[in-house]
Amino acid sequence: MRKRISSAILRFALAISAIALASPAAQAAVPLPALNVDTSQTTVSGLSGGGFMATQLGYAFSGTFKGVGVFAGGPYMCAGHSNYTACMYNATVSASMLSTMQADLNNWSGTAIDSLANVAGQKIYMFVGNSDFTVGPNPMNALQTQYSNNGVTAANLEYAKRASTAHVFPTDFDATGNNACSSSASPYISNCGYDGAKAALSKFYGPLNPRNDAPSAANYIEFNQAAFTTNAGVSPTGWVYVPANCAAGAVCKIHVALHGCVQNYATVGDKFIKNTGYTRWADTNSIIVLFPQARVDSTSHATSASGSLANPNGCWDWIGWYGTNFAQRAGTQVAAIKAMVDHLASGSGSGGGGGTALPAPTGVATSGATSSSMTLSWNAVSGASGYNVYRNSNKVNGALVTGTSYNDTGLAASTSYSWTVGAVDSASAEGALSTPATGTTLGGGGTTPQCFTASNYAHTTAGRAHQSGGYALANGSNQNMGLWNTFVTTTLKQTAANYYVIGTCP
């Protein structure tokens, strides 16, 4: 009897544990927000299967997507006519195959897909590693030819090929859990000394403001994807990154970032969302980044040209798992992503060119520094009801600032900060952000600064820093010192009791 009772208790405990583990995801998913969006600047990019899907979205909705980025993908409808293996593994895509794909584009233009004439005006960014044998340069070369055949000029198409680079999304920074640039392995994100996110976004939007290497965790939102589709290959939840100024009503742009196979959240966690660098640039450039999520589907489906297959790697549909119209506007997954974009862009003030958004304030300057405060001032913007102030991309004012100055308090001594200002109109819509103004607070309390140079690991064991998520953070200021290990060396300056900043002593 005791044994039976113990087993029952154990089963009950396991059931409760399962519910507890499932609850956070269910509670975390909220409705996708509706924001103030410049709908003339919507773009998309993706890696591998996500790259094929980005191409499909770019052609199917060429009136919506003004820029398309493809990291190791291939031409539109390649797997619609050939076994998917003929479109990857560095296979040669013949002129005859491209001609068959082109016939689809010509026949569907203006009916099953948006007018093909829109494609010539798109900005295209392409990337592949010369050591990529998963997709490889040959399918990418065919994609370049396909875009050229549809009117994309050399000025509008940038094609980067990198030596010693495998099937990966390239970055220029180290992140916990990433693989080597020369290795095609999970999570397929690597420090290759090349900032792929910057390259793509710069192609679409021109010169960018400096990135924020520590985007606020509060800006990442898990949302309910089931509101847009119940397709077996799409996860019930997705992610969106909303910069603070976009959440406050500023006119922002939308970029859709599509993960590759075995890169969805359920498989690799937030690595594609946080380690690719998209959000670092988005945070300082008023870009909302939508991260839709595919999922594993172990059921076999008839495909267009590859027989009956399951989708065990959680790929986006580029081979026709979910219908022969997979690459058209009516395709289940294509339509779902477009619906997400439309909903994001349904907030007040959205429209082409950003409508009548207020211009960025000019003359932003810092003055009156103390050890814990800084005064910001700027020129008035005609039509503004007030202003929002952002420190290191985070909004710092509670109520709207009605004048043209703001005293920012609660700062750390001997620390440099960056501020931007946005004007807000009578409808509570925020305009473009100003160029950043920087300033450094004074040393605090007469404390004589003392510097310590050591590995990030040694700093934590000495009580000058602490670690979180694999990174070392300075005590007091919480400045990110980089990876928490014995190889990264940092100089910390103590400006007060248990208060350290990254820097050097005079």
Distance from chain centroid for Cα 70 = 14
Respond yes or no: is residue 132 known to be catalytic: yes
Dihedral sign from CA coordinates of 256, 225, 220, 35: positive
Residue pair 185/48 in contact (Cβ under 8 Å)? The answer is no
- Reported as type and span, the H/E element at residue 231 is none
Cα separation, 68 vs 125, in Å, equals: 6
Q: CA of 384: how far to CAs of 161, 360, 402, 433, in Å? A: 46, 11, 9, 13
Which residues, in sequence order, are CB contacts of 478 under 8 Å at separation 6+? none
Please say if 48 is a catalytic residue.
yes
* Residue spans of beta strands (DSSP E) within 48-188: 65-71, 123-129, 157-162, 169-171
Closest by CA to 211, choosing from 196, 189, 228, is: 196
> Which of 104, 109, 167, 343 is an active site residue?
167
Task: Output the CA torsion 113→68→255→392 (10° steps).
Answer: -170
Q: Which of 48, 286, 306, 350 is catalytic?
A: 48
Active site residue 382: no
Q: For residue 394, how many other CB atoms are within 10 A of its CB?
A: 16
Reported as type and span, the H/E element at residue 42 is strand 42-47
Paired tokens of 105? 């584009």
Q: What is the DSSP string of 438-485?
A: EEEPPP-TTPPPEEEEEEHHHHHHTTSEEEETTEEEETBT--EEEESS
The β-bridge partners of 69 are 45, 125
Residue among 382, 360, 496, 348 at smallest CA distance from 436: 360
Phi, psi dihedral angles at 500 (to 5 degrees): -130, 145
- Rounded Cα gap, residues 378 and 399, in angstroms: 18
Catalytic residue, candidates 104, 132, 283, 297? 132
- Look up residue 27 and give its two tokens: 């509670």
Rounded to whole angstroms, the Cα distance separating 447 from 23 reads 48
- The DSSP element (H or E) to which 366 belongs, if any, is strand 365-367
Positions annotated as catalytic residues are: 48, 132, 167
